[in-house]
Amino acid sequence: QFNQYITRARRVELARSLDLTERHLKI
């Protein structure tokens, strides 16, 4: 369960970073 939690957190961080980069590229 702990491993899945870490993966989920990393996935969220990745999604956030990707979203930020996309916004910067659009601008």
For the chain, the farthest-separated pair of C-alpha atoms sits apart, in whole angstroms, at 39
CA dist., res. 9 & res. 5, Å (int): 6
The mean predicted confidence, pLDDT, of the chain is 87
Give the helix ranges, DSSP H, for 1-27.
2-26
The sign of the torsion formed by the CA atoms of 19, 22, 24, 27 equals negative
pLDDT band at 3 (very low <50, low <70, confident <90, very high): confident
Element (H, E) at 1: none
Structural domain spans, the chain: 1-27
pLDDT at residue 8 is higher than 80: yes
**pTM for the whole structure:** 0.55
